[in-house]
Structure 1
Amino acid sequence: MSSPVPTATVVPVPTVVTDAPHGSDVVASPAPEIGWRTETTTPDWLQAGAEIELTRDGDVSTHRIDGRTSTRVAWPFALLEPRERASLRVRVTGEDGVQGEWSEPRRVTAGFLGDGEWRATTIGLAAPEHTAQPAYLRTEFRATGPVARATLYATAVGVYQVAIGGVDVDDQVMKPGWTPYEQRTIHETTDVTPLVAEGANAIGVRLAGAWATERFGFRDSARPLYGDQPRFAAQLLLEYADGSSEWVTTDASWQASTGPITASGLYTGENYDARLVLVDAEGRGFAEAGYAAEGWEAAAEREPVRTPEARVSPFVRRLEELSVQEVITTPSGKTVLDFGQNLVGRLRLRVSGPAGAEITLRHAEVLEHGELGTRPLRAAAATDHYTLSGKGQGDGGVEEWEPEFTFHGFRYAEVDGWPGEFDPSAVTALVIHSDMERTGWFEASDPLVDRLHENIVWGLRGNFLYLPTDCPQRDERLGWTGDIQVFAPTASFLYDVRGFLDSWLRDLAIEQVDGVVPFVVPNALGVARPAAAWGDAATIVPWVLHERYADVATIERQYPSMKGWADVLIGLAGPRRLWEGMFQFGDWLDPDAPPEQPANAKTDGDIVASAYLFRSADAVARAAALLGRDDEAQQYAGIAEEVRAAFLAEYVTPAGRMMSDAQTAYAMAIVFDIAPADQQETLGARLAELTRLSGYRIGTGFVGTPIIQDALTRTGHLETARRLLTQTENPSWLYPVTMGATTIWERWDSMLPDGSINPGEMTSFNHYALGAIGDWLHRVVAGLAPDAPGYARLRIQPHPLAGLDHAWAEHLTPYGTARAGWARADGVIRIEAIVPANTTAVVALPDGRELEVGSGTHEWEVEDAAPPAAASRIGLDSTLAAVIDDLDAYRAIGEVLEAANPEAAHAFRTNTKWSERRELGEALFMHAGPDTQREIAERLAELSAQREDATADA
């Protein structure tokens, strides 16, 4: 409970890779940064100083800092040694002079290896039966005395799990994940002391290929990048009670075999034959001492893995279980399970049946006309097979199984071959993803908007699995740079993604070729070609981490990468300072682009490219200034200004029209701050006009979607932004919600209104890029945003939307929980804010007041401005703009047209330009005959009369 006496809590720092029980953390650096959060009921509390105490080997060291700094504090003590254990605690003093109590200690364990300590030999099967052959490895060793501590360091080019004495060493999934294996591998550091006994012991390893042996690429170009077999390396350090120690390492003395996992792949799925389980006649498993290893052979030495480094990103784990919501019998007679949520993971079965019975599990995200919709998976079979051992039959026992080294993106699973009567409680969906701390929440009174936000969260969960992927289900699942570039702000609010993205950015820098950022990281496609908005992940994502976490360390480490990318673009632009005439993804998946030409957007690719040239040059200038590189800051700021001038001269007319008269072009000029302040109003007015002309349907792709709402809001068109947000017709954010979506779709119309899947070759029902709208919901609708790096100062600026009763957002900042929101009732809007201790907030209220407040809970009330009123009279002589701004009238017209001619109704809704210069009657001429027009006129007359009566009664 909070009290006036400040209480600090030491929090995990960026180099923490796991939260072990009892507040213990494994860190990947000998000098981890330190942070703490303070709780107190004292209003306006600010820290005057803090004492940090480190206990190591019984020695106590104390370091004092003055001032407010409480996040990302540089390690002030002697460097940690490998495997060293220490204990940290902190005590803070406020500016009021009140000193707090010491925090609860947080234990720290150094999880990195010492220089030259890596000595393991990389091993695998000597004679694999086929490509990507799953393998089983084992060895036995003796602990020659009482073991005080046992630490396992392990890695793979592939995925693995280790068991000692038959017990898995942890609950991680698919470790160590995917990195550019030739340049960077990751080792896990695991305390296995409880599993090692004095005397005989055994280590057993289960190993499969996953990313290391998958065939990446499209169509005939698909190929494995890292070899055709998985390989493994590990070393176990035994530290005895008497002070001696020894290493047990992988080498040619280990044994290898095949086993029950007979095939495994990310795209194909996994085959498991329980009759082949590796248990000897005495019932001992292959990871137990004394196991009779008949049929095993010597392990073969394989190409060495690169010396691994300690993990800085979070582990992947099973984080949720979902039960079957419905058992469906399809038109063809198949049994399909619906879990009610599109998820990423796999199924766990509990089943009894005869030996040799085979159960087949096929996975898909949607149903199409009642059957499993597998076409979007392309070459990915997404199919698992389980062959029963029969050991559970007849004695009431069951066999329990889940695939181990694959994952699927699915809501639906088709089950075939189930022995006996099927019981839906025997199948559970296991949700897996990187185990990041949830830090952000949002709620709105509109259930469709609420579900949209929930879909954004699930899209992140499904695609943050060791790296940020584009999709989790088809034959792709790659770290597309453009997707995370636009989504990073949303992700950093919802979860603590600093360590996750920090690790991925290291790989991005590794994969750059002469400064060029590849389309995907790791570069599974083997292509390094400049593409605007995609390669700009090199400059934008590090800056997001600084903005949200005050992360200077990542900016400093990534600065050569940032600068290298910017230099490539500057070179391509040349003296004209415009990036023109080259390959671009552009405003990818503009809703007007043909299904098979997703880059064919309304906004010209050159405009997108030059806008991002400005943005990246500006980001490098700001990074250089942050790092004290004043000369380079001035150089890149100057280049950015030259690009700005060239962009405005080339692409913006003196009257304020963009040469691509499309929403994305205007949004970039406004939100990227390319257009000067005196021109933004004009650009914003045209953007709002284009949005209304389209019937308040979205007209942007990957580039414009994250920023269009900010562009409208910034230029005073909040009502237009509201209509765009709450639109339910296709294309819109809420159209998928009305179609039952539980994640964000790749295309605005991944599923068509008739229930058929988009005919394009590329369609996914779990892509987070278009979910970048979440950042606007958090910052603008609820009104919670950082106003200084790491939320050291907050900006509370809610925007109450007409038609919503309330909205709020909450975020666990580096300083503590912050909250902002609003609720309307009885003509009043009540604004609330919670500001964490040791921070302040700038508050901008809807009535124009602006003030600054300190920590604590705050409330304000403002008068609820009346929403724009619809015209009292509406008829065939009304303008199309008046009609689209009058939802009741628009819906009434649509109902009459739908009853008369559904095709004409669709054409009227989607093809009409809702202009102020055209009348409704003129537009209806092409869509409705005289009788239908007369019926529409009558309906509108009734609506007008009702309004006049209501006005008279009032």
Structure 2
Amino acid sequence: MEWSGKWIKPSQEMGEVCPVFIREFDGEENGGREIAKAELWVTALGVYEAVLNGSRVGQYVLAPGWTSYKSRLQYQVYDITQLLKDENRLSVTVGKGWYRSPVPGWITEEGKAEKAAIPAGLLAEIVITDKEGNTTCIGTDESWKAGESKIRFSEIYDGETFDAGFKAAEYLPAEVFEWTKDNLIPQEGEEITEQEYIKAAAVFTAPNGETVVDFGQEVTGYVQFTLDARAGDKVEISHGEVLDKDGNFYNANYRAAKAKIFYTCCDGVQTYKPKMTFFGFRYIRLDQFPGTPKPEQFYAVAVHSDMKRTGCLRSSNPMLNQLFSNIIWGQKGNFLDVPTDCPQRDERMGWTGDAQAFVKTASYNYDVDKFFTKWLADMAADQLPDGSIGHVVPTLFVGSGSAAWDDAATICPWQIYLTYGDKEILARQFDCMKKYIGFITNTTKDKYLWTGGEHYEDWLGLDAPVGSYKGSSRADFIASAFYAYSTSLVVKAGKALGEDVSCYEDLYRNIVETFRRTFTDYRTQTEHVLAVHFNLAEDPAKTADALADMVVSCGSRLQTGFVGTPYLLHVLSSYGHTDLAYTLLLRTEYPSWLYPVTKGATTVWEHWDGIMENGDFWSTDMNSFNHYAYGAVADWVYEEAAGIHTVEEAPGFERVKIAPKPDSRLDWLEASIETRKGLVRSLWKQEEGRFRYEITTPSPASIVIDGVETQVGPGEYIFYSRI
């Protein structure tokens, strides 16, 4: 579509107030002809909410979403036919959103000033089509007016200030300004929408006398509250994830993010929820609130990308089920248009390392095809000229060139292809994948290895030296291992696309040979894991055995960080150590996946001991209680414990391999995934001294029970084996 609308902004200075743009129109605008269809085309430099004749237009929250704005700004198209009347009033409120907020990428005052100077721009068109097919467009121009809204302040990190009694003194003609339209793209990702309303579980007085509301579940979104008040009464709310060991409200881990709501009441019964921001929280503190608050006055509104739930894990172990729930809530809370690292503190960015670690689990839990397609397109758009990938996408100038982080460029598209079977994602990202390999090849200090540079290494590895976050695994080892792995994925992607990848096959062969000559010993759990999982170890079984010995020798404890943890259990169970993998999964002492559950976690934590055994906090500096990466363990449960595997030669579950690996410490375990081909399900349970297996496959499958492989067609099957 050729936009006839122009970019407009308020002609008056409003400071921190969110402007509202107004356009009134009637049937005469289209010659009085009978309307067949009416649409609103709209985008903004920030986030917007459109209201037509008192009704919200669409369900999209925080539209137009977060993209690499310099090259990709989404616009939305809404059908407004049913909202039209004889006399119409369209209002569009514009907030800062991600576009104009001082997110961490702009760490200098100069950068913040540059971002703050971006206008609160709106671009819109009302497109009316009559019964004869004639079209009338009412685009943004000087005929639109702008004034101050009731939203007196709104920002992603700091929250929202709303005055319910405010009335604008006047609306002045909007001002047209020059801004590009060349970066406009139609909506590509999933819409962000309200998903669940969670009623407050309790309102209580903390030991220090503060009034706290507990929703019983950490969510990403915002609070909705209802109260009966007088004009001018004040509400002030702070958000937090956890209570301290004395039971008091705590949010020092939000760092510089104020995460506050300020609300000024009008007369009577009123309901409010923020419109231009979001929070990560389980608890709220009522710093000011008229009357005596009751649980029924408060709801936590969970907001995330509108993804279809496809995967489910259940077991006989309640603590394990809570972990499965925590993983789902962690994904919901952090899949808000981009795969963020956390939803609460002054960060909330699309960290590539977290995304690549979790992408397989993500694609089993939910249909994330569209979600990742959009995010990976932003990655390609932001790829630096040298081929490196920003540590966060959309890129915010916080660095590039880290192994396992940049490798999201190859790992994510390949996994999306395996799960959904559509080559289009590979075709779109193939140049990005190749350019990334070129970056490593051109910048390494040693040919056929990845040496030099700055890396996050095995971030938060538990074997880290005192004072370090990076674990004890060698940086060159990790980087070279991922160089090999990503090159192998380029080869696989190229072959799937029918491309000539012979040069990458040669490169991969040389990387593996050089790696094996260079790294003749493996010193940490993570080094063992990567050597086996990336097919670099000359004797993988021996290396996996050595890994198992290391794990057992330190008390059956994992010591891996962000790099090694996603693959740890896979390596153990692939080489005869499934019992040890279950021991790690079911362990409740620190460090373990279930230790946070013992501390009341309802999402996955950034640190295994975010709350330490004595009740103290790990730190205030970097201690998120909703950080999804370690939830990657769920893909081991799907694939190894329950046994559901994709087949590389037949992606998208065109064919299935189901090879369950039960454990007597669980009475039963069930996994199911709604694939593009239909439901695949695996259930095993102990029954009279044997294991009973119930398996459903929508495609031809090879079912492996006790080492015996059976070829079957689509259907439902029951097998038995001895315990």
User: Could you say which TM-score interval applies, normalised by the shorter chain?
Assistant: over 0.9
- The question of whether the paired residues in 2 share the 8 Å contact of 1:275 and 1:355 is answered with yes
Given that residues 212 and 230 in structure 1 are in contact (C-alpha distance below 8 angstroms), is that contact kept between their aligned partners in structure 2? no
Could you tell me how far apart the structure 1 residues matched to 2:453 and 2:388 are? 14
Which aligned pairs between 1:514-593 and structure 2 lie closer than 5 A? 514=385, 515-524=387-396, 526-573=397-444, 576-593=447-464
Q: Tell me what 2:234 maps to.
A: 358
Letter in 1 for 2:125: Q
2:245 equivalent to 1:376: no
Partner amino acid for 1:404? K
Corresponding position of 1:869: none
Unaligned runs of 5+ in 1: 1-113, 279-293, 393-397, 865-954
**Structure 2 portions without partners, runs of 5+:** none
Contact 1:164 1:204 in 2 (8 A): yes
Letter in 2 for 1:523: T
Report the residue type matching 2:491 in the other structure. A
CA distance in 2, matches of 1:499, 1:323: 31
Residue in structure 1 matched with residue 691 of structure 2 by the alignment:
829
> AA paired with 1:665?
E
Structure-2 residue corresponding to 1:138: 22
Query: 8 Å contact 1:513–1:528 — kept in the other structure?
Result: no
Match of 2:154 in 1: 264
Amino acid at match of 1:855: P
1:855 aligns with 2:714: yes
| Match among 595, 608, 616 for residue 478 of structure 2 | 608
**Which of 516, 519, 529 is the aligned partner of 1:667?**
529
Question: Deviations for 1:161-213, whole angstroms, at most 9, x for unmatched residues?
Answer: 1112221111221111111111111111111111123x432211111011111
Counterpart-to-counterpart distance in 1, 2:535 and 2:507: 15
Three-state SS of the structure 1 residue aligned to 2:388 is coil
Larger Rg: 1
Per the alignment, in what secondary structure is the counterpart of residue 275 of structure 1? coil
Letter in 1 for 2:710: L
- Partner Cα separation in structure 1 for residue 125 and residue 508 of structure 2: 51
State the partner residue of 1:86: none
Where do residues 903-914 of structure 1 align in structure 2 (5 Å cutoff)?
Answer: none
Distance of 1:849 and 1:315 partners within structure 2: 46
Residue 236 of structure 1, aligned match among 116, 126, 142: 126
- Say whether residues 1:155 and 2:23 are aligned partners: no
Deviations 1:480-533 (A, max 9, x none): 001001100000000000000000000000111111100000112x14421000
1:385 paired with 2:270, answer: no
Q: What's the offset of the Cα at 1:720?
A: 1.2
Give the 3-state SS of the residue equivalent to 1:790 in structure 2: coil
RMSD: 1.6
How far apart, in 2, do the equivalents of 1:201 and 1:220 lie? 44
- Classify the secondary structure of the residue corresponding to 2:301: strand
Higher relative contact order (Cα pairs below 8 Å, separated by 6+ residues): 2
Counterpart code for 1:619: L
Instruction: Name 1:780's counterpart in structure 2.
Output: 640
SS of equivalent to 2:652: helix
- Give the Cα separation in 2 of the matches to 1:249 and 1:183: 23
> Which AA in structure 1 matches 2:516?
L
Deviation of 1:593 (Å):
3.1
Q: Which residue pairs with 1:50 in the alignment?
A: none
Higher mean displacement: 755-764 or 496-505: 755-764
1:843 to 703, 709, 714: 703
Over 3 Å counting, the alpha-carbon distance change for 1:244 and 1:738 in structure 2 is: same
SS in 2 for 1:433: strand
Whether the 8 Å contact between 2:203 and 2:294 is mirrored in structure 1 is no
Alignment partners' CA distance in 2, 1:695 and 1:760: 29
Aligned to 2:5, the other structure's residue is in SS state coil
Change (3 A) 1:735 1:595: farther
Residue 648 of structure 1: CA displacement? 1.2
Q: What is aligned with 1:299?
A: 174
User: In structure 2, what residue type is equivalent to 1:651?
Assistant: F
Deviation at 1:581, TM superposition (A): 2.8
1:268-667 equivalences under 5 Å are 268-277=158-167, 295-307=170-182, 308-368=184-244, 369-390=246-267, 392=268, 398-514=269-385, 515-524=387-396, 526-573=397-444, 576-593=447-464, 597-599=468-470, 601-630=471-500, 633-652=501-520, 657-658=521-522, 661-667=523-529
Paired letter, 2:229: G
TM-aligned CA distance change 1:266 to 1:644, over 3 Å: same
Native 8 Å contact 2:101 2:116 kept in 1: no
Aligned residues: 711
Give 1:242 deviation, angstroms.
3.0
Which whole-Å CA distance do the structure 2 matches of 1:843 and 1:699 have between them? 34
**TM-score (norm. length: structure 1):** 0.73
- Per-residue displacement from partner, 1:3-50 (whole Å, max 9, x unpaired)? xxxxxxxxxxxxxxxxxxxxxxxxxxxxxxxxxxxxxxxxxxxxxxxx
2:107 and 2:84 mapped to 1: Cα distance?
49
Please report how far the alpha carbon of residue 221 of structure 1 lies from its aligned counterpart in structure 2 after TM superposition. 3.5
Once residues 595 and 121 of structure 1 are traced to their aligned partners in structure 2, the CA distance between those partners, rounded to angstroms, is: 57
Q: Give a deviation string over 1:837-873, Cα, whole Å, max 9, x none.
A: xx2111111x210111101100111111xxxxxxxxx
In 1, the alpha carbon distance for the partners of 2:446 and 2:237 equals 58
SS in 2 for 1:810: strand
Cα contact 1:212–1:227 (8 A) shared by 2 = no
Q: 3-state DSSP class of the match of 1:322?
A: strand
Give the 5 Å matches for 1:710-721.
710-721=570-581
Aligned with 2:625: secondary structure? coil
Cα separation, 1, equivalents of 2:631 and 2:687: 30
Contact 1:591/1:747, CA 8 A, preserved across alignment: no
Matches within 5 A, 1:910-921: none
Alignment check: 8 A CA contact 2:237 2:288 kept: no
The residue identity in structure 1 corresponding to 2:553 is: L
**What is residue 140 of structure 2 aligned with on the other side?**
250
Answer whether contact 2:326 2:601 (CA < 8 A) is retained.
Answer: yes
Distance change (3 Å), C-alpha of 1:595 and 1:272: farther
In structure 2, C-alpha distance between the alignment counterparts of 1:755 and 1:124, rounded to whole Å: 51
Residue type of the alignment partner of 2:175: A
% identity of equivalent residues: 35
Q: Does 1:798 align with 2:670?
A: no
CA distance in 2, matches of 1:263, 1:234: 23
